[in-house]
C-alpha cells in the first residue's frame, strides 16, 4: 500500500511538473530538416521524451495493475505538450511569413530605387539584413548564386522556405531572370502586401484558437486527475477493471481519449497550402500557368 501511494504521488508530481512547464511556455521543438545542425538536438529531445513516456507508462501500470492505464499515461505524456501548446507551430509560421514579407519588401525597395543594379546584387544585399526567421535561407541563397547559377539557387531557396508564399516570390524572380522586363519591384511589393494580409488573418485565427485551448486544457487536467485519484483511493469502485473484460473496456476508453487528443492536435496545426514550385528540371503545367500570370503582372 505504501509503494502504491508513493508511485501515485510521483505520478501526481509528474503531472504537476508537466502542467507548470506548459504554463511557463515549454514548447515542442521545431521540425528540422534531416542533417541540419538542430536535427541531432531535436532527435535527442524526442528520444528523451519517449523514454519519459515509457517510464511514466510503466509506473502507471505498476501502480494500478492495468496495462491500459500504462498505455494511456504514456500517450498523454507524448501528445499532451504538443496538443496543449498549439500556438508554438502557428507562431513560428506567422514569424516566418512576416520575415518573408519584410525581406520581399526590402528587395522591392532596392530594385525600385535603383540602389541595386542587378537582381543578384539586390539578393546579396538583402541577405545581409534579412530577418532572423529566414536569415539562414537568404544567406544560403546569396552564397549559391555564383557557383550554381541564379535559377537553381532560387529553386533551392523556395524548397527551404517550404511554403507556397515563398514559391510565389521565387517564381516572380525566376520569371524576371528568364524573360527580363520591367515591373518586378511592383510585383514584389504587391506580394509583400498579400503576405501582410495573410499574417493579419492568421493572427486573428490564433487568437480565437488560444481561447478554445484553455477549455481543452481544463478538460484534460480534470480527466487525467480524476482517473489518477480514483485509481489510488477508490479501489473498490475501480475493482471491475481488474478483470480481463474490464481491461478491454478501459482500453476502449483510453483509445477513444487518445484519438480525441490526436484529433485536437491535428486541428491545432497551422494550415499551409500546397507548394507548386517543385520540379527541378523545368516548369510543369502548374508552373507554366504561374509563369504566364506572373509575366502579365510584371509588364
Residue 73 resides in a domain: yes
**3-state class percentages of the chain: helix first, strand second, coil last, to nearest 5:** 80, 0, 20
Residue 208 resides in a domain: no
d(CA 258, CA 70): 13
Residue 142 resides in a domain: yes
Residue 204 resides in a domain: no
Residue 50 resides in a domain: yes
DSSP secondary-structure letter at 115? Answer: S
Residues 244 and 107 in one domain: no
Comparing C-alpha atoms, which of 31, 20, 150, 48 is closest to residue 89? Answer: 31
d(CA 170, CA 188): 10
Residues 284 and 145 in one domain: yes
d(CA 157, CA 160): 5
Non-local CB neighbours of 114 within 8 Å, separated by 6+ positions? none
**Backbone φ and ψ of 25, nearest 5°:** 100, 15
Residues 82 and 106 in one domain: no
pLDDT in tens, the chain (299 residues): 333 333 344 444 344 444 434 443 434 334 444 433 334 444 554 567 778 888 888 887 887 778 877 887 887 777 766 666 657 778 889 999 999 999 999 999 999 988 887 889 999 999 988 999 999 999 999 999 877 789 999 999 999 998 999 999 999 999 998 888 788 999 999 999 999 999 999 898 888 877 777 777 777 778 878 877 887 788 788 888 888 888 888 888 888 877 877 777 777 677 777 788 765 544 444 444 443 444 344 33
Residues 194 and 289 in one domain: yes
Residue 23 lies in domain = 2-87+213-268
Residues 66 and 114 in one domain: no
d(CA 286, CA 296): 16
Q: Can you list the alpha helix ranges (DSSP code H) found in 31-134?
A: 39-64, 67-84, 87-113, 119-128
Comparing C-alpha atoms, which of 79, 82, 78, 80 is closest to residue 31? Answer: 82
Residues 73 and 13 in one domain: yes
> Residue 67 is placed in which grid cell?
496495462
Residue 64 resides in a domain: yes
Residues 8 and 65 in one domain: yes
Residue 143 resides in a domain: yes
pLDDT of residue 137: 94
Count of domains for the chain: 2
Residues 166 and 114 in one domain: yes
pLDDT of residue 109: 93
Comparing C-alpha atoms, which of 271, 283, 280 is closest to residue 201? Answer: 271
Residues 239 and 113 in one domain: no
Residues 28 and 98 in one domain: no
**DSSP string covering 204-229, please?**
HHHHHHHHHHHHHHHHHHHHHHHHHH
Number of residues written out for the chain: 299
pLDDT of residue 49: 73
d(CA 64, CA 60): 6
Residues 181 and 293 in one domain: yes
Residues 127 and 257 in one domain: no
Residue 244 resides in a domain: yes
Amino acid at each position: 500500500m505504501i509503494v502504491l501511494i508513493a508511485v501515485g504521488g510521483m505520478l501526481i508530481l509528474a503531472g504537476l511538473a508537466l502542467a507548470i512547464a506548459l504554463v511557463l511556455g515549454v514548447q515542442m521543438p521545431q521540425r528540422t530538416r534531416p542533417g541540419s545542425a538542430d536535427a541531432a538536438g531535436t532527435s535527442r529531445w524526442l528520444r528523451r521524451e519517449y523514454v519519459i513516456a515509457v517510464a511514466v507508462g510503466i509506473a502507471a501500470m505498476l501502480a494500478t495493475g492495468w496495462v491500459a492505464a500504462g498505455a494511456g499515461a504514456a500517450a498523454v505524456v507524448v501528445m499532451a505538450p504538443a496538443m496543449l501548446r498549439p500556438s508554438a507551430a502557428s507562431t513560428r509560421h506567422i514569424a516566418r511569413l512576416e520575415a518573408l514579407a519584410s525581406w520581399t519588401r526590402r528587395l522591392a525597395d532596392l530594385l525600385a530605387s535603383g540602389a541595386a543594379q542587378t537582381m543578384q546584387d539586390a539578393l546579396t544585399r538583402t541577405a545581409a539584413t534579412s530577418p532572423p526567421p529566414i536569415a539562414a535561407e537568404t544567406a544560403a541563397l546569396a552564397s549559391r548564386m555564383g557557383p550554381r547559377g541564379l535559377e537553381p539557387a532560387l529553386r533551392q531557396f523556395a524548397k527551404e522556405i517550404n511554403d507556397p508564399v515563398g514559391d510565389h516570390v521565387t517564381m516572380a524572380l525566376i520569371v524576371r531572370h528568364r524573360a527580363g522586363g520591367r515591373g518586378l519591384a511592383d510585383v514584389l511589393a504587391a506580394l509583400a502586401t498579400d503576405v501582410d494580409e495573410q499574417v493579419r488573418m492568421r493572427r486573428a485565427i490564433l487568437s480565437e484558437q488560444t481561447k478554445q485551448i484553455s477549455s481543452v486544457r481544463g478538460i484534460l487536467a480534470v480527466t487525467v486527475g480524476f482517473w489518477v485519484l480514483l485509481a489510488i483511493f477508490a479501489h473498490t469502485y475501480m475493482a471491475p477493471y481488474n478483470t480481463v473484460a474490464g481491461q478491454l473496456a478501459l482500453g476502449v476508453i483510453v483509445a477513444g481519449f487518445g484519438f480525441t487528443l490526436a484529433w485536437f492536435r491535428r486541428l491545432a496545426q497551422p494550415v499551409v497550402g500546397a507548394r507548386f514550385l517543385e520540379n527541378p528540371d523545368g516548369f510543369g503545367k502548374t508552373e507554366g500557368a504561374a509563369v504566364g500570370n506572373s509575366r502579365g503582372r510584371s509588364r
